[in-house]
Amino acid sequence: MEALGLPPLSTLSVSRCRVGVLGRTCYSNHSVPSSLKLSTTHHKRHGVVRMQAYEEEYELKQMKDMAAARKRWEALVREEKVKILSPREAGYAIQLSNKTLLDVRPSTERKKAWVKGSTWIPIFEVDDRFDVGTLSRKITNFMMGGWWSGVPALSYDSQFLTKVEQKFPKDTDLILACQKGLRSLAACELLYNAGYSNLFWVQGGLEAAEEEDLVREGPEPFKLAGIGGLSEFLGWTDQQRVAATKEGWGYRLVFSARLVGVFLVADALFIGAQQLGRYLQDIRSH
């Protein structure tokens, strides 16, 4: 699921959903004292096999949770309990009807681009805790692709509903938006179950918006607010490829230069590691 960049829906929904599908991919990590080291290859292989089996079981559960969540969300839209708006229609509604846009994205996306006058209450936020369990999830998130996509480990804000209720009465017209559309739809379900009846969902999220659809503030276009990591640095995201076709060769040359720089740095590190290895061998031989 987080091919979309999305973490258990158990806390997210009043029904039976797990937040994990919508923020980061988290795996439980049972810490083992360093003194209890496996002494044989057999034990190590057995441990690896068990971990792989656990990860596969977890991913299967995530897929089932996501499928169940999608069915509920589709029912909300099909029964018109949540109304669909395109980004352009949302822009018209904000300007002509003074409807409120509720931005539920994490701060990493919000700080790059936001709709002028929107209210920001993230349903998932970057997990800044540094306890043992959180650190293991961050490492897992990084190893599972965070280094490439730049998507950080996120955690569900259990105060999300309370924050919305403190700011908006339940008869308020609320337009919910996120970067791609999934987190905002999850937020719609949560708010609907809490009694909000005038909910509008921006289909496709802000990433689907053209610059003329909504009044933007922030340093980046809406389409680039959800990218990051090495893929963004090298310009290898779909959004940047589309931008490159509009901007021309100057835009592409910047990323080509970065790619060459990455190869040069990697080559220098490799040569340095070889020289260090030889130096250490010389020390040992003397």
Residues with a catalytic annotation lie at 178
The DSSP 8-state label assigned to residue 82 in this structure reads E
Copy the structure tokens of residue 100. 């409120």
Are 119 and 14 in contact by the 8 Å Cβ rule? The answer is no
Residues 6+ apart with CB under 8 A from 201: 77, 82, 83, 84, 85, 175, 176, 181, 184, 185, 188
Provide φ and ψ at 193, rounded to 5°: -65, -20
Would you say 208 and 107 are in contact if contact means Cβ atoms under 8 Å apart? Answer: no
The whole-angstrom separation of Cα 105 and Cα 127 is 13
Q: What is the largest CA-CA distance in the chain?
A: 82
Mutual angle of helices 41-78 and 182-193, in 10-degree steps:
60
